[in-house]
Structure 1
Amino acid sequence: MGKNIHVTNHSQGGYQVKFSGSSKAYRRTETQREAIEIGRELARNQHSELVIHGRDGKIRQKNSYGNDPFPPKG
Structure 2
Amino acid sequence: MSNDNRRHVVPNQDGGWDVRAPGAQRSSAHTDTQADAVCRAGEIVGNAGGGEVVIHGRDGRIRDSDTIAPGNDPNPPRDTK
Coarse TM-score class (shorter-chain normalised): 0.7 to 0.9
3-state SS of paired residue (2:25): coil
TM-score normalized with structure 1 length? 0.84
**Identical counterparts, % of pairs:** 38
Question: Residues 25-62 of structure 1: CA distance to partner in whole angstroms, max 9, x if unpaired?
Answer: 11111111110110111122221100000001110101
Q: Which residue of 2 aligns with 1:64?
A: 67
Structure 2 unpaired stretches of 5+: none
Using a 3 Å threshold, how does the CA distance of structure 1 residues 3 and 21 change in structure 2: closer, same or farther?
farther
Residue ranges of structure 1 left out of the alignment (5+ in a row):
none
Structure 1 runs (4+) greater than 3 angstroms displaced: 68-74
- Residue 33 of structure 1 aligns to a residue in which SS? helix
RMSD of aligned residue pairs (Cα, Å) = 1.7
Task: Letter of the 1:68 partner, please give it.
Answer: D
The amino acid of 1:17's aligned partner reads V
